[in-house]
Amino acid sequence: MRIRTAATLLAAGVVTLTAACGAVNVGGSGSTVGAVPANPAKVSGTVTMWIYPIDPTREQADWAPRVAAFERKYPHVKVNVVVQPWANRDEQLQTAIAGGKAPDVVYMIPDQIPGYASNGSLADVSSLVASDKSDFRPDALKALSYGGKLYGVPLLTQVTTLLANKKAMKAAGISRAPKTWGDLLADAPKLKRAGYYATEYDADPTQTLNETFYPLLWQAGGQVLTPDGTKAAFDSAAGVAALTFLTKLVNGGYVPRDSLTTPPQPDTDPIEQGKVGFVMAGDVAALIPTKAMPLSGWAVYPPLSAGSAGSAGPGAKPVSYGTVGGLSILSGSKDKTAAAAWVNWVTSTGQMKSYDKSHHYFPARSSAGTLFPRSTLEGKEERLLPDMTIGSIGLKSRQLMGVISPHIQAALLGQATPRQALSAAASAADNLLSRG
Amino acid sequence: MTRLRKARDRLRKNGTGITLVFIIPYTVLFVVFRIGPAVAGLLLGFSNYQITGVVSWAGLANFRSLFTDPLFWNALRVTVIYTVIAVPLTVVVSLGMAQLCARSIRGIKVYRALYFLPVITSLVTSSVIWQWIYSYNGPANWFFGAIGLGAVPWLSSNAMVLPSLSLMSVWTRFGFDMLILLAGLLAIPKEYTEAAMIDGASAWARFTRVTLPQLKPALFFVVILEVIQSFQVFDIIYVMTGGGPGQSSYSLVYLIYDQGFRYFDFGYASAAGVVLFAITLVVSLWQRRVFREDAR
């Protein structure tokens, strides 16, 4: 009886597993999207796109007129835009793909691409930019590529830079924003005396290093990995300098202690409460205006460089992280041509300009020009786009962050010296990379 | 036809029919949504699975990688330590509160309802509240400062993070356990304690010699439940510490989540899930045996 029961359970498991696997089997290599027919009447089908609240105040309403305009041009195509929450978006997408219920088009950022592309979930969309490839920013195309193929058409670009709290600067008697790490360290005691933190550093292991440690590493002239991507390179002199700079900020009491261990929460984040003088890698579109800290309270400055007060160090450069948002077509899409027509249309120069301007981001096409006047916060940021880097994008980028973050956190909590922490992190990273 | 009628009559006569009607829907749901996925998870542990549906047999490779991965052993250590701290603490607090709530005092029903509130509060909400309580300038440190003890690194010290999370877990869990134990306490005939009192037994002796032995089934249930809950700790870590500082609160379920949903390695994550299942099963069977032997 027991054997029979076990056999029944096993059979049920096999059935469930088979069901979970679904009917989609693309052999892990993905598929390719062909060119869109010139005649819109020849394109038909239904396209579902998942987008996220890139601008939470307008995302849902913003798409309705765009869809209507597209459907007028492509009368045989129906488009459904679904605004999904940012929270747990990978879990949601993976579950949908596994269950055969994935959308046709999805919004993606560079560090998602390798994972989904390598398991065959995304279609190669190189053909969609073939005719005007030179119009796209090369960095933007590179960011959405994996293994020599393009897996997303860029829709927007973003840059992180130095944001300054004008009220804090005034209260601390700081007339000029810092240009180097040394400048910030010199300003930090003044801000502390005035009741402000110099900056905030989110060190809990869930944070992306692209907006925390990596920019500092790049500013000191360092790199995350060796050029061939097989070994850790962040444990260099540049890495040690970056982590030493951070430990000085922490030990001086110039950053909120809670930010070192706990993920920031809305409403209690010192940045939103106006208690932080400078954000080292912030961007205007991501700022949440509050009563204590309205958008008008911020000023935008170029990213910091490594170096002492008043002078940048050798090899130092004012660089920061920038990212790209693009539209990817899923391999399992049943109407790839219709999906391609939609993606092509949304990422065309005119549409891209209007979407990016309304969302406070920047276009990925040079033909779109600059969108914001120099006098605005966004305008100042837009002119810093050449200083951005997308960093190292690879299949194990996220896993690397997972093994590096705890060691950086340990150094900031005084449990290891910067050199010890980076050396241990490099050893863990090399171990991860060697696993193939 | 006659045989069918006989079977029907038998089902009617001994009440089996109506029992089956009530049991079958739940059994079907349980098999489809619990047993099925569990077996599927077991099989996934022996495979390399891609979300597009590509599955290849991996044999024991995932388990071999798992047992040589220092991250797994750290996660296991964290989970065990958390369980060792959280379970006794929760059970003791629940038992104490159940004792208090078993008394007939004015407004006791209101107190019982209030104590149950944390159970029905979302874990994420509770975690955000406790994150604030534990923050460097939060109420907990304000209190400790006021009594001259200074700030405590609740979530920023490797040594303190698991006790701090356990404390928070007690707050969220004790209401539920308290109700089960309270039901157990109220079911104990008053004659037993009255007889012990007449024999001159002290309050402590009455509690340990009369109440606790009578409460054993309820206690067994609560302990099993708490052990399983503790082995599956995830939400509060996800919200409050992200597995840190360092990897001091990186639990087994957090590892499963990371490997599956962040790194797409579902086979590896499932292998870790299988190990978690095996550990939970062994611990539960062992507890069952211990409680049974004691009962004899």
Average pLDDT score over residue span B91-100: 94
Alpha-carbon separation of residue A353 from A179, A362, A371, A372, B112 (angstroms): 31, 8, 7, 11, 59
Residues of B in contact with A98 (CB under 8 A): 51-53
Q: Which of B180, B254, B163, B245 is nearest to B217 (CA)?
A: B180
Task: State the average pLDDT over residues A341-370.
Answer: 95
- Beta-ladder partners of A105: A49, A329
Closest Cβ opposite residue B52 in set A15, A331, A405: A331
Q: Is residue A149 classed as helix, strand or coil in its secondary structure?
A: strand
Question: So what's the pLDDT on residue A19?
Answer: 40
Would you mind telling me the total number of residues written for chain B in this entry?
296
Chain segment A309-330, per-residue pLDDT in tens: 777 667 777 888 988 999 999 9
Note whether A17 contacts B: Cβ–Cβ < 8 A: yes
Residue from B35, B52, B126, B128 to probe the interface with A (highest A Cβ count within 10 Å): B52
Which stretches within B15-160 are classed as H helix?
16-30, 36-44, 61-67, 70-101, 108-120, 123-134, 139-146
Q: Using the predicted structure, report yes or no on whether residue A20 has a pLDDT greater than 70.
A: no
User: What pLDDT, on the 0 to 100 scale, is given for residue A350?
Assistant: 96
Say if B97 is an interface residue toward chain A (CB within 8 Å). no
- Cβ distance B242 to A206 less than 8 Å, yes or no, reads yes
Chain A CB contacts of B40 under 8 Å are: 13-14, 16-17, 20
pLDDT band at A26 (very low <50, low <70, confident <90, very high): very low
Distance of CA B102 to the CA centre of its chain: 24
Type of residue found at A147: G
Instruction: Give yes or no: residues A121 and A179 share one domain.
Output: no
ipTM over 0.85: no
- Residue A96 CA to residue A92 CA, distance in Å, equals 6
Q: How many residues does chain A have?
A: 436
Question: Per-residue pLDDT for A390 more than 90?
Answer: no
Q: Which domain holds residue A65?
A: 33-159+322-389
Same domain, A60 and A137: yes
Minimal C-alpha gap between A88 and chain B (Å): 9
Q: Is the pLDDT of residue A22 over 60?
A: no
CA-based nearest distance B91→chain A, Å: 28
Cα–Cα distance, B275 to B263 (Å, whole number): 19
Shared domain for A224 and A92, answered yes or no, is no
Q: What is the pLDDT averaged over residues A125-143?
A: 93
- Measured distance CA(A218)–CA(A229) in Å, rounded: 16
Q: Which residue of B has its CA nearest to A405?
A: B246
What percent of chain A is helix, strand and coil (3-state, nearest 5)? Answer: 45, 15, 40
DSSP H or E run through A282? strand A278-282
Report chain A residues whose CB lies below 8 A from the CB of B52. Answer: 24-26, 28, 97-98, 119-121, 331-332
> Cβ A97–B240 below 8 Å, yes or no?
no
Judge whether A5 is closer than 8 Å to chain B, CB to CB.
no
| Interface list for B 153-212 with A (CB within 8 A) | 155-158
E strands present in A152-256: 153-159, 161-165
Contacts of A398 in chain B (CB under 8 A): 262-263
What is the enclosing helix (H) or strand (E) of A46? Answer: strand A45-51
The whole-number average pLDDT for the span A381-408 is: 86
Cβ-based contacts of B45 with chain A (< 8 Å): none
Chain A residue with CA closest to B65: the answer is A435
Q: Is A164 in a helix, a strand, or coil? A: strand
For residue A105, the surrounding DSSP H or E stretch is strand A105-108
Does some domain include residue A353? yes
Q: How far apart are CA A117 and CA A30, in angstroms?
A: 7
Helix (H) or strand (E) holding B206: helix B203-206
Q: Does any CB of chain A come closer than 8 Å to the CB of residue B249?
A: no
- Separation CA B49–CA B267 (nearest Å): 6
Residues of A in contact with B32 (CB under 8 A): 12, 16
Q: Does A316 lie in the same domain as A243? A: yes
Q: Residue A4: inside a domain, yes or no?
A: no
- Is A142 found in the same domain as A45? yes
Q: Is the minimum CB–CB distance between B53 and chain A shorter than 8 Å? A: yes
Closest by alpha carbon to A114, among A154, A151, A86, A141? A151
Count of A-B CB contacts under 8 Å: 144
- Which pair of tokens denotes residue A290? 């509050």
> What pTM does this model have?
0.81
3-state secondary structure A299-362: EEECCCECEECCEECCCCCCCEEEEEEEEEEECCCCCHHHHHHHHHHHCCHHHHHHHHHHHCCE
Report whether pLDDT(B76) > 60. yes
Q: Measured between CB atoms, which of B51, B128, B258 is closest to A119?
A: B51
d(CA B154, CA B133): 9
Residue A13: the pLDDT is 45
For residue A380, give the H/E element and its range.
helix A377-382
Residue A370 placed within a domain = yes
Residues of chain A contacting residue B44, judged by C-beta atoms under 8 Å apart: 17
Same domain, A415 and A279: yes
Q: Could you read off the pLDDT of B126-152 as tens digits, one per residue?
A: 998 999 999 888 899 999 989 988 889
Supply B180's token pair: 């089960």
pLDDT of residue B149: 85
pLDDT at position B46 = 94
pLDDT at A145: 94
Chain B residues with beta carbon closer than 8 angstroms to that of A22? 53
More confident: B222 or A433? B222
pLDDT of residue A255: 96
* Residues sharing a CB contact under 8 Å with residue A217, sequence separation 6 or more, in sequence order: A223, A224, A234, A238, A239, A242
Residues A407 and A347 in one domain: no
Residue of B27, B51, B137 to mutate, testing the A interface (most A Cβ within 10 Å of its Cβ): B51
- Whether A16 maps to a domain, the answer reads no
Instruction: Please report residues of B whose CB lies closer than 8 A to that of A14.
Output: 39-40, 43
A353: burial class by Cβ within 10 Å (0-12, 13-18, 19+)? middle
In a shared domain, residues A292 and A410: yes
Closest CA relative to residue A282, chosen from A189, A362, A377, A358: A377
pLDDT digit string, tens, across residues A36-94: 888 999 999 999 999 999 988 888 889 999 999 999 999 999 999 999 998 888 889 99
For chain A, percent of residues with pLDDT exceeding 90:
67
Q: Looking at the structure, tell me whether residues A151 and A287 fall in a common domain.
A: no
From chain B, the residues in CB contact with A256 under 8 A are: 136
Q: Is B40 on the interface with A (CB under 8 A)?
A: yes
What confidence tens digit (pLDDT) does each residue in A95-111 have?
999 888 999 999 999 98
Instruction: Check: CB of residue A104 under 8 Å from CB of residue A48.
Output: yes
pLDDT of residue B60: 92
Query: Nearest CA to A179 among A275, A280, A78?
Result: A280
Q: Please give the pLDDT value at position A420.
A: 96
> Does residue A284 belong to any structural domain of this protein?
yes
B267 contacts on A by Cβ (under 8 Å): none
Chain B's closest residue to A10, CA to CA, is B39
Chain A residues within an 8 Å CB radius of B50: 28, 119-120
> Which of A355, A372, A389 is where one domain is finished?
A389
Same-domain check for residues A193 and A312: yes
Angstrom distances, CA of residue B178 to CA of A154, A416, B102, B105: 56, 43, 10, 17
Number of domains observed in the structure of chain A: 2
Q: Could you tell me the pLDDT band of residue B51, with boundaries at 50, 70 and 90?
A: confident
A273 and A313 in a common domain: yes
A12 touches chain B (CB under 8 A): yes
> Which DSSP letter does residue B33 get?
I
| A79 DSSP β-pair partners | A47
Q: Does residue A29 belong to the interface with chain B, where contact is any CB pair within 8 Å?
A: no
Mean pLDDT of the residues in chain A: 88
- Output the pLDDT for position A419: 97
Confidence of residue B17 (pLDDT cuts 50, 70, 90): confident
Q: Measuring CA to CA, how many Å separate B232 from each of A425, B62, B92, B250, B256?
A: 28, 21, 20, 12, 10
Mean pLDDT of chain B: 89
| In chain B, % of residues over pLDDT 70 | 97
Share of chain A above pLDDT 70, in %: 92
Q: Are strands A45-51 and A77-83 parallel, antiparallel or unpaired?
A: parallel
The angle subtended at Cα B178 by Cα B174 and Cα B182, nearest 5°, is 175
Question: How close B2 comes to chain A (CA, Å)?
Answer: 28
In a domain, A134, yes or no: yes
Tell me the nearest-neighbour CA distance from B71 into chain A, angstroms: 9
- Residue with the bigger pLDDT between A266 and A211: it is A211
Query: Residue A2: its pLDDT value, please?
Result: 45
- Cβ of A204 and B39 within 8 Å? no
Put simply, whether B51 touches A (Cβ < 8 Å) is yes
DSSP β-bridge partners for residue B48: B56
Residue A113 lies inside a defined structural domain of this protein: yes
Does the CB of B35 have a partner CB in chain A at under 8 Å?
Answer: yes
Cβ <8 Å between A413 and B43: no
Mean pLDDT along residues A208-234: 92
The three-class DSSP label of residue A375 is coil
Segment A355-360 long-range contacts (CB within 8 Å, at least 24 positions apart)? A355/A62, A355/A66, A355/A155, A355/A156, A356/A155, A356/A156, A358/A55, A358/A58, A358/A62, A359/A54, A359/A55, A359/A58, A359/A62, A359/A156, A359/A285, A360/A55, A360/A284, A360/A285
Least confident range from A154-163, A377-386, A392-401: namely A392-401
> To the nearest 5 percent, what fractions of chain B are helix, strand and coil?
75, 0, 20
pLDDT tens digits along B225-253: 999 999 999 999 999 998 989 889 999 99
What's the pLDDT score for residue A173?
Answer: 96
Distances in Å between the Cα of B86 and the Cα atoms of B89, B104, B201 are 5, 29, 32
Name the more confident of A267 and A233. Answer: A233
Per-residue pLDDT, B268 = 92
Residue A356 in this model has a pLDDT that exceeds 90: yes
**B239 in contact with A, Cβ within 8 Å:** yes
CB contact under 8 A, B32 and A16: yes
Residue A375 counted as domain residue: yes
Domains for chain B: give ranges and CATH numbers. Answer: 2-44 (no CATH), 64-295 (1.10.3720.10)
Q: Taking CB atoms and an 8 Å cutoff, what residues of chain B touch A25? A: 52-54
Query: Which residues in chain B are closer than 8 Å to A12, comparing Cβ atoms?
Result: 31-32, 35-36, 39
* pLDDT band of A268, cuts 50, 70, 90: confident
Mean pLDDT computed over B47-52: 84
Q: Check whether residue A310 and residue A168 sit in a common domain.
A: yes
Whether the per-residue pLDDT at A4 is higher than 60: the answer is no
CATH number assigned to the domain comprising residue A174 = 3.40.190.10
